[in-house]
Amino acid sequence: MKMETIPNTQLIEKDVPSARATWKKIEPFALTFNGYKHWGSFKKCREVADQGVKLYRGRQALNQSLTDLRTCLFFESRRWKHYEKNPTKKGMEYIRALVEAIRVRVQAREFS
CA distances from 66 to 13, 33, 81, 87, 97 (A): 13, 11, 23, 22, 13
**Which pLDDT belongs to residue 3?**
63
Give mean pLDDT, residues 63-91. Answer: 96
For residue 67, being part of any structural domain is answered with: yes
pLDDT of residue 39 exceeding 60, the answer is yes
Enclosing domain of residue 107? 63-112
For residue 32, being part of any structural domain is answered with: no
**Which pLDDT belongs to residue 1?**
46
**Which pLDDT belongs to residue 112?**
78
* Cα–Cα distance, 92 to 21 (Å, whole number): 10
Q: What is the pTM of this model?
A: 0.94
**Which pLDDT belongs to residue 111?**
86
For residue 52, being part of any structural domain is answered with: no
Percent of the chain exceeding pLDDT 90 equals 92
**Which pLDDT belongs to residue 103?**
96
Inter-residue contact 13 to 107 (CB < 8 Å):
yes
**Which pLDDT belongs to residue 4?**
87
Inter-residue contact 17 to 29 (CB < 8 Å):
yes
Tell me how many domains the chain contains.
Answer: 1
For residue 83, being part of any structural domain is answered with: yes
